[in-house]
Structure 1
Amino acid sequence: MENNDKITVEQCSQYYNIATSFLFDLDDHGLIVLTHEENTAYLDYGQLPLLEKYMRLHYDLLINMEGLEAISHLLKRVQLLHATIRHLGGEIPGY
């Protein structure tokens, strides 16, 4: 199978200069999804912006995994509320 749409955890770790354990921790906490094929873990390219966001929060702001989970949950709630407002025909100030 071709892997044009994903990157191995090891390649990703080397590219971003982060520990592979950080990627596995994000996966364990449900913040990203790693796929496994033939004893190799992969990350879809579509998840790279999400990974970069979590990297900035974790390494720049020193937010731990539990904090990342809380932030992710709250951002999803805000997006859901914005979608609901748009569906109801309302306007969202500042958007």
Structure 2
Amino acid sequence: MSLENFIPLDNLCTHYKVEMSFFRTLNEIGLIEITTVEQSLCVHKDKASDVEKIIRMHNELDINPEGIDTIFNLLEKINSLQSELVSVKNRLRLYED
């Protein structure tokens, strides 16, 4: 694997001014997946927006990793319910016309 699809955690620690232990905790509770690429701990670029959201919740709102996990689970549930609602509305339109 090459680093082109991954972001080194060292860069994230420097840029966002967080400790490496914060990312290890996020990995332990399943919020991010840390991968070793070329002897460097990294996260995939596809998860960059999630990592940024997590860091902002932690720094700006002072939410601990467990609280962030709960928030992400609730947001996932909301998105699922919204998709289901759209689907049900579309089926209902078939019977209204």
Q: TM-score, normalised by structure 2?
A: 0.82
What is the identity, as a one-letter code, of the residue corresponding to 1:20?
A: M
* Secondary structure of 1:43's aligned partner: strand
What is the identity, as a one-letter code, of the residue corresponding to 1:15?
A: H
Give the drift of 1:46. 1.5
What does residue 28 of structure 2 align with?
A: 28
Give the drift of 1:39. 4.2
Q: Unaligned regions of 5+ residues in structure 1, if any?
A: 91-95
What is the identity, as a one-letter code, of the residue corresponding to 2:74?
A: L
Return the structure number with greater helix share.
Answer: 2
1:52 aligns with 2:59: no
Provide, for residues 21-63 of structure 1, a one-character-per-residue CA deviation record: whole Å limited to 9, x for no partner. Answer: 1111111111111112454321111211111111111111111
Cα RMSD of the aligned pairs, angstroms, is 1.5
Distance 1:39 1:87 in 2: 46
Q: Unaligned regions of 5+ residues in structure 2, if any?
A: 91-97
Distance 2:86 2:69 in 1: 26
What does residue 5 of structure 1 align with?
A: 5
What does residue 82 of structure 1 align with?
A: 82
* Secondary structure of 1:41's aligned partner: strand
Distance change >3 Å, CA 38–CA 4, structure 1 → 2: closer
Distance 1:74 1:56 in 2: 17
Percent of residue pairs bearing the same amino acid type: 27
Provide, for residues 4-33 of structure 1, a one-character-per-residue CA deviation record: whole Å limited to 9, x for no partner. Answer: 111111122112221111111111111111
Higher Rg of the two aligned structures: 2
Task: Return structure 1 stretches of 4+ with deviation > 3 angstroms.
Answer: none
What does residue 16 of structure 2 align with?
A: 16
